Amino acid sequence: MTTNAKATGPLIGYARVSTDDQETQLQIDALNAAGCSRIFIDKASGKNTERPELVAALDYLRSGDSLCVWKLDRFARSLIDLVTLVDGLSQRGIGFKVITGALANIDPGTADGRLMLQVVGAMAEFERSLIKERTKAGLEAAKAQGRTGGRPTVITDDKLTVAKVRKAKGESVSAIAKALGVSRATLYRHLGEP
């Protein structure tokens, strides 16, 4: 992870709250005090919801600008998300500043700041590896218990027997599928026909 952006342009702020009931005023005040010339504000959960104002802020930023956030949890959904976003800013020549909390006052344009972001990047890579390992172990455990992923089949042995008998009598696959309440594709797959 490399961050060589030297901020020379304006400081652009980004604030986010998870619900409409929460207030952004604390973040806005802090971003204004930091000298942000423009502030983008999202009112959406960071985990599962699109953040249109973050997208707009990232689109608005130009090389030499800096993105400023109040705290990391208002900006990134996870460590992996943080590293991805900061890498993207760095590649575009955009600085990054956190006002309070983790990584506060660390300048990614300095050697110390780059070191901290590289440590965070290594932690994110470690997190990715752990997620992959846990997922693989979970799938293997489920398979050992006879469970496989995907939707359960809608064709029972009885339905398949009925379908084969009706097909042998010359009935169309469409009519059989409709009568059994399954799709034609499903029926074709179980009958072994293209």
46-92 pLDDT, tens digit each? 566 788 999 999 999 999 999 999 988 888 877 778 878 888 898 89
How many CA atoms does the CB half-sphere of 14 hold within 13 Å? Answer: 27
CATH architecture of 11-124: 3-Layer(aba) Sandwich (3.40)
Alpha carbon distances (Å) from 166 to 57, 170, 173, 186, 193: 62, 7, 9, 16, 15
Structure confidence by residue, pLDDT tens digits, 80-94 = 788 788 888 988 999
Which parts of 65-106 are beta strand (E)?
A: 66-69, 95-98
Q: Are strands 11-17 and 38-43 parallel, antiparallel or unpaired?
A: parallel
- Is residue 102's pLDDT more than 70? no
**Is 78 one of the annotated active-site residues of the chain?**
no
pLDDT tier at 15, thresholds 50, 70, 90? very high
Q: What average pLDDT is seen over the chain? A: 83
pTM of the complete model beyond 0.75: no
Among candidate residues 83, 66, 78, the one with its CA nearest the CA of residue 14: 66
End-to-end C-alpha distance for the chain, whole angstroms: 50
What's at 148, amino acid-wise? T
Q: In which band, very low, low, confident or very high, does the pLDDT at 138 lie, cut at 50, 70 and 90?
A: confident
Domain boundaries, the chain: 11-124, 157-191
